[in-house]
Amino acid sequence: MNELPLARSGKTALEVAVQAAREAGKIIVDRFHSAKNITLKSKSNIVTEVDLLSEKIIIDRFEKEYPDFKILSEETNPTTRPSGYTWIIDPLDGTNNYAYGIPFFCVNIALAKDEDMLLGVTYDPLRDELFRAGKGRGAYFNDAPIHVSEAKSLGESLLGFDLGYNQEQGRELLDIISKLYGRVHCIRMIGSSALGLAYVACGRMTLYIHRWLYPWDIASGLLLIREAGGIVTDWQGSPASFQSTQLITANPAVHQDFMKHMD
């Protein structure tokens, strides 16, 4: 990522993002088995004190290293309008999993310039699994190059999905899942859209779909999947951006097969 401005410390943007993700991840893991202070933001949408602490660690790091960059973050700066260089942060994706003791969650960090995704970092701190991508530089899992699944059809596919917090969209997605049951190899609801996208990028999951998302959920995953040879579109089949609320992600063949079943 040499074309990006260096941080005040002389580190690259990717180095700063990875360091921030790992620092936040340590705090998240250290408090995983502790009692949680949970606040309800909306129906089924919660925040814990660990979300806020993780976010503070990341934002403090970015404000120190890149004081001129904007920050769009789920808990503290959710209404920031991205323009110029903007960090996009989900300090703890999969908060419901985390709060209930389910070990499946991550830290999600991306950097955009206007609408252009430049880098993405998705970090699973429990497993110490780091997914990263740079525009035009490929996608990696713990420094090993990754590629999306080579499945040719829905029948070969492991389909992942999540419902989100919009009940109407969630019910519509459940109807779609019901129609696809028996047409795919198997189906999983996982509770972390960021990890779902990372898993598509590395081939663990063939297809991931969602009907109600936010920029911090998907910004890193958009770049991970595209740099890993996959497709990310909205529900109409147009290329998705980090402003998209609905996503279909897969390799080209499976994406095409899925779209046929949606006609």
Cα-based distances in Å from 208 to 15, 99, 120, 129, 231: 28, 23, 18, 19, 11
Give the tens place of pLDDT for each residue, 188-223. Answer: 999 999 999 999 999 999 999 999 999 999 999 999
Helix, strand, or coil here: 86? strand
Stretch 17-45: mean pLDDT, rounded? 92
| CATH at 192 | 3.40.190.80
Q: For position 45, what pLDDT does the model report?
A: 83
Residues 52 and 125 placed together within one structural domain of the fold: yes
Residues 49 and 140 placed together within one structural domain of the fold: yes
Name the average pLDDT for the chain: 95
Residues 69 and 98 placed together within one structural domain of the fold: yes
243/52 Cα distance (integer angstroms): 23
Stretch 1-29: mean pLDDT, rounded? 93
Residue ending a domain, among 145, 173, 195, is 145
Residues 209 and 117 placed together within one structural domain of the fold: no
Residues 158 and 140 placed together within one structural domain of the fold: no
> Are 109 and 236 a contacting pair, CB within 8 Å?
no
Q: Is 205 exposed, middle or buried (0-12, 13-18, 19+ CB in 10 A)?
A: buried
Is the alpha carbon torsion for 161, 250, 166, 35 positive or negative? positive
String of DSSP letters for 128-188 = TEEEEEETTTEEEETTEE-------SGGG-EEEE---S-HHHHHHHHHHHHHHTTTSSEEE
Stretch 24-38: mean pLDDT, rounded? 95
Q: For position 82, what pLDDT does the model report?
A: 83
130/223 Cα distance (integer angstroms): 14
Instruction: Tell me what percent of the residues of the chain surpass a pLDDT of 90.
Output: 89
The domain in which residue 228 lies consists of 154-262
State both tokens at 61.
């790091």
Q: For position 1, what pLDDT does the model report?
A: 45
Residues 60 and 125 placed together within one structural domain of the fold: yes
Give the tens place of pLDDT for each residue, 56-87. Answer: 999 999 999 999 999 999 998 777 888 899 99
Give the tens place of pLDDT for each residue, 122-160. Answer: 999 999 999 999 999 999 999 999 999 999 999 999 999
Helix, strand, or coil here: 211? coil
Residues 76 and 176 placed together within one structural domain of the fold: no
Residue 6 maps to a domain = no
Give the tens place of pLDDT for each residue, 110-119. Answer: 999 999 999 9
Reported confidence tier of residue 236, pLDDT bands at 50, 70, 90? very high
Give the tens place of pLDDT for each residue, 181-193. Answer: 999 999 999 999 9
Is the alpha carbon torsion for 68, 240, 56, 10 positive or negative? negative
Residues 97 and 186 placed together within one structural domain of the fold: no
Residue type, 260: K
Is the confidence at residue 163, as pLDDT, over 80? yes
> Are 225 and 197 a contacting pair, CB within 8 Å?
yes
Residue ending a domain, among 91, 126, 145, is 145
| CATH at 75 | 3.30.540.10
Residue 232 maps to a domain = yes
Give the tens place of pLDDT for each residue, 6-17. Answer: 999 999 999 999
Residue 5 maps to a domain = no
